[in-house]
Chain A
Amino acid sequence: MAMNKFENVTLKAFYLPGDDIDTDRIIPARFLRCVTFEGLEENVFADDRAQLHGKHPFDQSENKQCGIMIADANFGCGSSREHAVAALQRWGIKVIIAKTVVIPSDDPKKDPKVIPAFAAIFRGNATANGLVCLDVSPEDHELLVANAAMRSENFMAINLEQMTIACQHFPAGETVVKCTMPSADRDMLLNGTWDTLATSLEAGDLIEKTAADLPYLKAT
């Protein structure tokens, strides 16, 4: 199945604060009682929004115009529910930028540890649906959040070939920050090969050959 190659986009951005935003909050379990993904956008962050009485970022009409959401660290943790990705995408999000966590090493000769910005299952679900997840350093994250706060001027240009996010009109002119993502996800989005089902099927009888060597399948 042909899927669209990611084309560089320039979109407005808004900030959703809070580390460790889990998928139970993104789409509470009661909305998983469904057999399609249709309509999930109505209930994205349902409980968080109810508690903030209209002040939640997802209840701000100007944010609905934004295609980029800036999150903090460990976005999408918890349940594997792909409904979370579906709800965000259908609401209008095309790109999520989140913050890595950098843990300095005790040993000065060793590099610091960088913890990815997104929970792994969430990121996999996102790529499988063409939703772009980008990691930025804590320092660059601060810049982006400041830019997003400048309401009328918070455009960001996303370039996946160069792995850059360019903030237009940040104090004086343009600020460009680097972003990262696993190379496999980047490849799939750039080449339009994020249809993993089709890719898997292309292996043909290599699948059966692999199965034939599994002792537990021979024993059944």
Chain B
Amino acid sequence: MSTGTLFDKVWKLHTVRVLPNGQTQLFVGLHLIHEVTSPQAFQMIRERGLKVRYPERTFATVDHIVPTEKPSLVRPFKDGLAEQMLVTLQKNCNEFDIKLFDLGDRGQGIVHVIGPELGLTQSGMVIACGDSHTSTHGAFGSIAFGIGTTQVAGVLASQCLLVQKPKVRRIVVSGTTPDGVYAKDIILAIIQKLGVKGGIGFAYEYAGSAIEALDMEGRMTLCNMSIEGGATCGYVNPDDTTFDYVCDDRQFVPKGGPLRQLIDWWETLRTEADAEFDDVVEIDGSSLQPMVTWGTNPGQSIGINEKIPNDADGAALAYMGFKAGQQIAGTKVDVAFIGSCTNGRLSDLREAAEIVKKYGLKVAPCVKALVVPGSQMVREQAIAERLDEVFIHAGFEWREAGCSMCLAMNPDKLQGNQLCASTSNRNFKGRQGSPTGRTLLMSPASVVASAAKGEVASVSQL
């Protein structure tokens, strides 16, 4: 039983009641919805004659099915099913009076990118969305859960979830990470160490100097992949880095007196010095290195310059076309993808562009490389900084905002058994759209290096 953690405090504050069966009915302070997990949920409440209880705390966007090439954005979409999903979302938001950041709206983008940039995501909230990467919002010191469609219906109708309180594991990453090691590498290392099932039944608190050194977008990358470690959610305690971000002229953050009061309150949420955790894991940040997955789940990873373990799972190796004990660096790649809710933010694009410029890189002739900004706002700002010109000049395709090649629900897909260097979050079989397609998860910096060399590489090899 954990005590005194941020998790305990926020959980208690949002507890409506505890049921005889031990579940907590939790109030959801922010409900984010998108076109994939909402249609059936709205239908469920419509059939029961219910309304949305807190439409003003419910915000929608379209992201998974969005084509990212401008000509394909003409409506109706070529994909009739995708068109139907968008029309259904529009109808539902209209009927139930929910704000929709639609295509053409400046606030549109990947749901876990727009929440923070609009200032919807704040510290001390309980945030839910029908999407497992909802854990991203924990970066602000909030409890952010991914939920299923039936739960989405429950939140729409009651603004509540029934959940078992998880245990809390503190993961302390101490020291300073070496140059070239990013938040993506930290979380891949954590999942490699604890396994994809290790977090089942746990919320993860990420702490330690290496975590505190991350900026907000880095913390979002970290928290985003908590689910890949099996955890219910993951969070970072809020601090000045958090408050500076939230206060930076965000649409849904109040100003003046009310904001100062919020900050005072946020300061009280931090995990106490004498807090107790159900488990503590310590990792030496200075020992970390750029990572790459070799297998078919996010836990199957190694340092980019290491060899695949001798006891690596045979089925995963067979699918990926690798052998136990071999180097991954130097493997030819076919596709390079920078984007997704994990690494599609401005800092990811800035870092990638910086590396392209510093080394005068060009995409290798045999590689198809895409840069997909996570939202319209990210895209606009990237253009204002002329990052798009850097990418286009180097041979990357510069796209519109959406989930893109992370998950095969839109036209951006792998073909055949193409091998993709990807900044996304899952390397499951078939994840990127081809039943034999292969995904290597890595940081944006490593994707840039791999795109330029035409083979798996880290920046240190440039």
Q: Which residues on A are within 8 Å of B, measured CB to CB?
A: 1, 18, 20, 22, 24-25, 28-30, 32-37, 47-48, 50-51, 73-74, 77-83, 85, 101, 115-116, 119-121, 124-125, 128-129, 182-184, 187-188, 196-197, 199-201, 203, 206-207, 210-211, 213-217, 219-220
Q: Please tell me if B175 contacts chain A, counting CB pairs below 8 Å.
A: no
If A1-B48, A214-B27 are given as contacts, then 4 extra A-B residue pairs at C-beta distance below 8 Å, sorted by A number, are A79-B132, A196-B154, A199-B25, A215-B265
Given A200-B160, A201-B158, are A30 and B230 neighbors across the interface (CB < 8 Å)?
A: no
The answer to whether B254 and A121 have CB atoms under 8 Å apart is no
CA distance A32 to B44 in the complex (A): 17
Query: Contact partner of A199 among B22, B162, B315, CB < 8 A?
Result: B162
Q: Mark B248-271, 1 if CB is under 8 A from A, else 0.
A: 000010100011011001000000
- Which residues on B sit within 8 Å (CB–CB) of A217? 29, 57
Q: Please tell me if B157 contacts chain A, counting CB pairs below 8 Å.
A: yes
The answer to whether A220 and B88 have CB atoms under 8 Å apart is no
Q: Mark B149-184, 1 if CB is under 8 A from A, else 0.
A: 111011001111111100000000000000000000
CB distance from B357 to the nearest CB of A (A): 35
CA distance A121 to B133 in the complex (A): 12
- Which residues on A sit within 8 Å (CB–CB) of B149? 82-83, 125
Q: Please tell me if B347 contacts chain A, counting CB pairs below 8 Å.
A: no
CA distance A33 to B409 in the complex (A): 7
Give the most central of A1, A47, A116, A197: most B CB within 10 Å. A197
For A74, the closest partner residue in chain B by CB is B197
- Which residues on B sit within 8 Å (CB–CB) of A83? 149
CA distance A133 to B177 in the complex (A): 41
- Which residues on A sit within 8 Å (CB–CB) of B261? 215, 219
The answer to whether A51 and B23 have CB atoms under 8 Å apart is no
The answer to whether A125 and B65 have CB atoms under 8 Å apart is no
CA distance A24 to B261 in the complex (A): 44
Given A51-B435, A129-B150, A216-B29, are A20 and B37 neighbors across the interface (CB < 8 Å)?
A: no
Q: Please tell me if B1 contacts chain A, counting CB pairs below 8 Å.
A: no
- Which residues on A sit within 8 Å (CB–CB) of B196? 20, 74, 77
- Which residues on A sit within 8 Å (CB–CB) of B393? none
CB distance from A190 to the nearest CB of B (A): 10
CA distance A195 to B151 in the complex (A): 10
**8 Å CB interface, B206-258 against A:** 227, 230, 232, 252, 254, 258
- Which residues on A sit within 8 Å (CB–CB) of B81? 33-34
Show 6 residue pairs from A and B whose CB-CB distance is below 8 angstroms, ordered by the A residue: A22-B428, A25-B430, A77-B230, A77-B297, A82-B148, A210-B16
Query: Contact partner of A184 among B22, B65, B84, B227, CB < 8 A?
Result: B22
Query: Contact partner of A124 among B148, B198, B254, CB < 8 A?
Result: B148
Stretch at the interface among B122-130, B326-334, B359-367, B381-389: B122-130
The answer to whether A184 and B40 have CB atoms under 8 Å apart is no
- List the 6 closest A-B pairs by CB distance, nearest first: A33-B81, A125-B148, A200-B158, A82-B148, A35-B39, A187-B21
The answer to whether A128 and B150 have CB atoms under 8 Å apart is yes
CB distance from B177 to the nearest CB of A (A): 27
- Which residues on A sit within 8 Å (CB–CB) of B132? 78-80, 121
Q: Please tell me if B99 contacts chain A, counting CB pairs below 8 Å.
A: no
CA distance A170 to B433 in the complex (A): 43
CB distance from B376 to the nearest CB of A (A): 23
CA distance A85 to B54 in the complex (A): 28
For B147, the closest partner residue in chain A by CB is A80
Given A30-B409, A207-B53, are A188 and B158 neighbors across the interface (CB < 8 Å)?
A: no
The answer to whether A184 and B21 have CB atoms under 8 Å apart is yes
Q: Please tell me if B17 contacts chain A, counting CB pairs below 8 Å.
A: yes
Q: Please tell me if B36 contacts chain A, counting CB pairs below 8 Å.
A: yes
CB distance from B225 to the nearest CB of A (A): 12
The answer to whether B158 and A203 have CB atoms under 8 Å apart is yes
- Which residues on B sit within 8 Å (CB–CB) of A18? 315
CA distance A212 to B230 in the complex (A): 33
The answer to whether B254 and A220 have CB atoms under 8 Å apart is yes
- Which residues on B sit within 8 Å (CB–CB) of A34? 39, 81, 85
CA distance A30 to B414 in the complex (A): 13
CA distance A77 to B427 in the complex (A): 12
Q: Please tell me if B431 contacts chain A, counting CB pairs below 8 Å.
A: yes
The answer to whether A28 and B408 have CB atoms under 8 Å apart is yes
CA distance A83 to B39 in the complex (A): 12
Q: Mark B11-31, 1 if CB is under 8 A from A, else 0.
A: 001111101111101010100
Query: Contact partner of A30 among B27, B148, B433, CB < 8 A?
Result: B433
Query: Contact partner of B150 among A22, A28, A82, A120, CB < 8 A?
Result: A82
Give the most central of B21, B44, B64: most A CB within 10 Å. B21
**8 Å CB interface, B268-305 against A:** 297
For B202, the closest partner residue in chain A by CB is A120
CB distance from B457 to the nearest CB of A (A): 27
Q: Mark B60-89, 1 if CB is under 8 A from A, else 0.
A: 000011000000000000010110110010
Q: Please tell me if B131 contacts chain A, counting CB pairs below 8 Å.
A: yes
Given A34-B81, A121-B148, are A197 and B159 neighbors across the interface (CB < 8 Å)?
A: no
CA distance A12 to B40 in the complex (A): 31
The answer to whether B17 and A203 have CB atoms under 8 Å apart is yes
CB distance from B28 to the nearest CB of A (A): 10
**8 Å CB interface, B103-144 against A:** 122, 124-125, 130-132
CA distance A197 to B152 in the complex (A): 9
CA distance A47 to B65 in the complex (A): 20
CB distance from B56 to the nearest CB of A (A): 8
- Which residues on B sit within 8 Å (CB–CB) of A116? 200-201
Query: Contact partner of A35 among B84, B125, B157, B428, CB < 8 A?
Result: B84
CA distance A87 to B399 in the complex (A): 33
CA distance A125 to B230 in the complex (A): 15
